[in-house]
């Protein structure tokens, strides 16, 4: 079967490998149909993901059809259409016991710590599968995983109906946070520095737009909110300053949701947290967000028009990575078809 593998930083290859076989009774063999390319796949390719182990079959955003099931599998049958939740966790550490396997001490992410979805066939435990309705096309289903990231940010920020949410950055993740917080009933302000990205955010429901290059972002948010600031701020820009700004711009009793994997420290005066009793939380991957997103998609509540920028067959996988690299300012999602 065909696979896409990052052999070592900077070396991406198409290769052949034997079809994997089921080894545990709870495992399922899946024929992969679509794989999305994520910013973190590009980081793995460039050797900038500190968690990646090489060589690595990349891909954590993938969907497919069940072709074989282990003897103990009960949830899915041959022919079932599924999305694979790409995280594996121990189930016994403190985080797992809190129901938060996404931050397990022994977390393994498919496509990062172990092989992922860019292969014609993949084996995964039944527990990691979510069934897809027949009405959901593969080209939409492949976007479920990225939307779970926005759903998790919305959940971590405890977004309430009527809240004013500031989504900093209208990249792939910011756009998913925008749609999830709109569905939670918030008024959403979106920032970016690229006018085209702001225009797309407007078309996906943003109530207010701020070009952070042309305007003073914090002043503008205060102006929009009558001086209050945003009740929830989701940092999907993820640099030193965006975290600092998120503390500054958020209202009293507000929540700051940080998505950054950045290792550069930000400078934050404690008084700015205390006087507003801010809650600052990290948001990593997702917990229990797959069913939420599948439900929204099935009901047509997430609007996906134009979200996929380009699609390539597996034979052109290297062109796809080059396209994403060369067009990072305009790409939302590039998808590989495995058929
Ligand atoms: N915590 C998690 O689970 C998780 C998951 C996925 C991605 N991430 C992180 O989220 C971040 C965003 O990912 P992405 O795929 O959306 O990246 P992206 O590059 O598509 O989006 C970033 C956006 O920010 C905009 N931007 C840059 N500077 C800005 C500024 N000063 N003000 C406003 N906008 C600005 C860019 O134009 C771009 O649209 C990355 O740092 C990524 O590592 C975290
Ligand atoms: Zn991703
Ligand atoms: Zn654990």
DSSP helix/strand/coil, 274: helix
**Domain count of the fold of the chain:** 2
Residue 168 backbone phi and psi in degrees, to 5: -90, 115
Answer yes or no: is pLDDT of 276 > 90: yes
Residue carrying the six token digits 């099935």: 298
d(CA 198, CA 177): 14
Q: Determine which residue's CA is closest to atom 13 belonging to ligand 1.
A: 173
Same domain, 266 and 326: no
**Same domain? 255 vs 310:** no
Residue range 194-237, pLDDT digits in tens:
999 999 999 999 999 999 999 999 999 999 999 999 999 999 99
CATH number at residue 200: 3.40.50.720
Is 290 inside any structural domain?
no
155 and 74 co-located in one domain: no
Q: How confident is the model at residue 143 (pLDDT cuts 50, 70, 90)?
A: very high
- Considering the domain architecture, whether residues 28 and 134 belong to the same structural domain is answered as yes
Which of helix, strand or coil describes residue 130?
Answer: strand
Residue-range definition of the domain harbouring residue 246: 148-282
Cα 17 to middle of ligand 1, angstroms: 34
Same domain? 124 vs 152: no
For residue 303, the model assigns a pLDDT of 87
Q: Are 177 and 236 in contact (CB under 8 A)?
A: yes
Q: Which ranges constitute the DSSP H helices of the chain? A: 39-45, 94-97, 138-141, 144-156, 172-183, 195-203, 217-224, 240-249, 270-274, 290-298, 317-326
CB 200 within 8 A of CB 306: yes
**pLDDT the model gives residue 105:** 98
Asked whether 123 and 22 are in contact (CB, 8 A), the reply is yes
Mean pLDDT for the stretch of residues 119-141: 96
Q: How far apart are CA 128 and CA 120, in angstroms?
A: 18
Residue 332 CA, closest ligand 1 atom number: 20
Residues with CB under 6 A from ligand 1: 39, 149, 168-174, 191-194, 197, 212, 236-238, 259-261, 283-285
Indicate whether 269 and 164 sit together in one domain: yes
How many other C-beta atoms lie within 10 A of the C-beta of residue 117? 30
Same domain, 172 and 242: yes
How large is the C-alpha radius of gyration of the chain? Answer: 20
Q: Specify the pLDDT at position 339.
A: 83
In a domain, 244, yes or no: yes
Tell me what pLDDT residue 329 has. 86
> Is residue 184 pLDDT above 90, yes or no?
yes
Whether residues 96 and 40 share a domain: the answer is yes
Q: Whose CA is nearest to atom 44 of ligand 1?
A: 259
pLDDT for the residue 62: 98
Q: How many residues does the chain have?
A: 339
The H-or-E segment that residue 30 falls in is strand 27-37
| Co-location of 8 and 76 in the same domain | yes
């Amino acid at each position: 079967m065909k696979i896409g593998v990052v052999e070592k930083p900077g070396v991406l290859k198409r290769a052949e490998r034997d079809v994997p076989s089921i080894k545990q009774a709870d495992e399922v063999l899946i024929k992969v149909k679509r794989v999305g390319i994520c910013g973190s796949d590009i980081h793995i390719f460039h050797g900038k993901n500190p968690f990646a182990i090489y060589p690595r079959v990349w891909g954590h955003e993938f969907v497919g059809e069940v072709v074989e099931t282990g003897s103990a599998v009960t949830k899915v049958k041959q022919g079932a259409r599924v999305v694979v939740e790409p995280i594996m966790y121990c189930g016994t550490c403190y985080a797992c016991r809190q129901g938060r396997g996404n931050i397990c001490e022994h977390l393994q992410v498919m496509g990062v710590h172990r092989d992922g979805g860019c292969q014609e066939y993949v084996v995964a435990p039944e527990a990691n599968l979510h069934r897809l309705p027949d009405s959901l096309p593969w080209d939409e289903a492949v976007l479920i995983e990225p939307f779970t990231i926005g759903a998790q940010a919305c959940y971590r920020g405890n977004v309430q109906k009527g809240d004013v949410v500031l989504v900093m950055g209208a990249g792939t993740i910011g756009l998913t946070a925008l749609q999830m917080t709109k569905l939670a009933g918030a008024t959403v302000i979106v920032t970016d520095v690229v006018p085209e990205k702001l225009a797309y955010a407007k078309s996906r429901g943003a109530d207010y737009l701020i070009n952070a290059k042309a305007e003073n972002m914090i002043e503008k948010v205060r102006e929009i909110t009558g001086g209050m600031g945003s009740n929830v701020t989701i940092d999907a820009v993820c640099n030193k300053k965006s975290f600092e700004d998120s503390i500054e711009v958020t209202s009293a009793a507000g929540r700051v949701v940080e998505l950054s994997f950045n290792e550069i420290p930000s400078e934050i005066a404690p008084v700015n947290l205390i006087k507003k009793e801010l809650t600052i939380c990290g948001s990593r991957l997702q917990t229990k967000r797959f069913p939420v997103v599948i439900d929204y998609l099935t009901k047509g509540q997430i609007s996906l028009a134009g979200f996929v920028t380009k699609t390539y067959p597996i034979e052109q996988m290297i062109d796809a990575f080059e396209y994403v690299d060369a067009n990072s300012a305009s790409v939302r999602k590039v998808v590989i078809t495995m058929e």
